[in-house]
């Protein structure tokens, strides 16, 4: 099969032929139809996020068609259209048994723990628990746009921050995950303020439902959000993971607001960001984390897509062949991408 192979950290991926994967006894082999290019791939490419070893194939936002299943699989068969959750559990730990497979003690992350979707075929373990049927009404590219950023935002806003209709929600950082959060929060009935330094990203945020935007280059973004919202957001999201956006997110909240941390810091920050602890304590700010989404929550999200309440396909700003993947990863270094780019073919055409 053809794959984009990472032979060394920070070096261009190499497009070449590699062996097809074996079919796990409890799993399936999925023929990849589309795979979103995520900033988490960029983090792994730079060495900020650990992968299983080198050489390696990244890619964790993929949809496709089941090519083969193992003898222990009962819920799926070849030919089924599927979306593959980014965070998968093994079904044995306390978190899995309580319905939180996304934070399994032995979590499996396609594209990180094992070879991922920048290849024609991917082996997925525990298929009955870790694959989700993709409705016929949802295309492969649109499904791929939900694979990590969108479902992470959904879980974060719906399950973790529990956004309610009528609340103010501020989104700091309008990359793929931030724009997903804009659309989802607006669909939940919240009034969304989008914050970024890119006019193009802010314009797209308005198209996706933001009622106001703040250009962080113009000064104190947190103060601007507090002014727009009449005292501060009820929920604020750091969708980027740098000190400036994290601090601005927390300080843009009203008293007893909820800060949702989605973005990950880089290796240069050693995974740590200083927090304004005094403000958190004195104003009883809640600090919440979110990581992926358990497979059992996908049907709720997909039903909203089928009903037209959510339209993740609107975040897709381009589709590319696998050969152009390096260009997109390089552009992410300079924050030069807007929306979601999806690899939807393995040839150069």
pLDDT along the chain (349 residues), means of 10: 96 96 97 94 88 95 97 97 92 92 92 96 95 95 90 96 98 94 97 96 96 96 98 97 94 98 75 90 97 91 94 93 94 84 87
Helix (H, G, I), strand (E, B) or coil at 4: strand
Helix (H, G, I), strand (E, B) or coil at 235: strand
Any idea which residue has 């980014």 for tokens? 86
Query: Helix crossing, 221-229 with 243-251: angle to 10°?
Result: 30
| Residue 78 zone, left/alpha/beta (φ > 0; ψ -120 to 50; rest) | beta
Q: Which of 170, 143, 320, 167 is nearest to 260 (CA)?
A: 170
What is the set of domains in the chain, with CATH numbers?
2-148+293-345 (3.90.180.10), 162-289 (3.40.50.720)
- 222's enclosing H/E stretch is helix 221-229
Provide the pLDDT for residue 268: 58
The structure tokens listed for 197 are: 């330094």
Distances (CA, A) of 314 to 141, 153, 218, 310: 11, 15, 28, 9
Helix (H, G, I), strand (E, B) or coil at 72: coil
CB of 238 closer than 8 Å to CB of 261: yes
Provide the pLDDT for residue 176: 87
Provide the pLDDT for residue 266: 67
Q: Which residues, at least 6 apart from 256, have a Cβ–Cβ distance to it below 8 Å?
A: 283, 284, 285, 286
- 84's enclosing H/E stretch is none
Provide the pLDDT for residue 338: 83
pLDDT digits (tens, 9 = 90+) for 187-243: 999 999 999 999 999 999 999 999 999 999 999 999 999 999 999 999 999 999 899
DSSP class per residue in 130-186: H-EE--TTS-HHHHHTIIIIIHHHHIIIIIIS---TT-EEEEE--SHHHHHHHHHHH
């Amino acid at each position: 099969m053809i794959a984009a192979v990472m032979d060394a950290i920070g070096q261009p991926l190499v497009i070449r032929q590699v062996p097809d994967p074996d079919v796990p006894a409890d799993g399936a082999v999925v023929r990849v139809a589309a795979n979103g290019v995520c900033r988490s791939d960029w983090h792994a490419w730079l060495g900020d996020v650990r992968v299983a070893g080198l050489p390696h194939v990244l890619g964790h936002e993929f949809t496709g068609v089941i090519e083969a299943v193992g003898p222990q699989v009962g819920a799926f068969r070849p030919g089924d259209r599927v979306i593959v959750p980014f965070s998968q559990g093994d079904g044995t730990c306390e978190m899995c048994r309580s319905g939180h497979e996304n934070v399994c003690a032995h979590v499996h992350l396609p594209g990180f723990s094992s070879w991922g979707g920048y290849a024609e075929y991917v082996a997925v373990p525990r298929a009955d628990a870790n694959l989700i049927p993709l409705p016929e009404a949802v295309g492969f590219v649109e499904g791929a746009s939900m694979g990590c950023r969108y479902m992470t935002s959904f879980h974060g806003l719906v399950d973790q921050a529990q956004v309610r209709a009528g609340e103010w929600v501020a989104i700091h950082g309008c990359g793929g995950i931030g724009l997903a959060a804009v659309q989802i929060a607006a669909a939940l009935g919240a009034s969304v303020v989008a914050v970024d330094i890119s006019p193009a990203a802010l314009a797209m945020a308005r198209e996706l439902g933001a009622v106001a935007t703040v250009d962080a280059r113009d000064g104190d973004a947190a103060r601007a959000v507090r002014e727009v919202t009449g005292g501060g957001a009820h929920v604020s999201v750091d969708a980027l993971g740098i000190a400036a956006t994290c601090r601005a997110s927390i300080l843009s909240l009203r008293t007893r607001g909820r800060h949702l941390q989605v973005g990950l810091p880089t290796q240069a920050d050693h995974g740590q960001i200083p927090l304004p602890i005094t403000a958190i304590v004195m104003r009883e700010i809640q600090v919440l984390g979110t990581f992926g989404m358990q497979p059992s929550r996908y049907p709720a999200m997909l039903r909203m897509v089928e009903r037209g309440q959510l339209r993740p396909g609107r975040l897709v700003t381009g589709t590319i062949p696998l050969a152009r993947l390096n260009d997109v990863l390089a552009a992410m270094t300079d924050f030069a991408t807007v929306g979601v780019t999806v690899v939807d073919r393995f040839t150069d055409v």
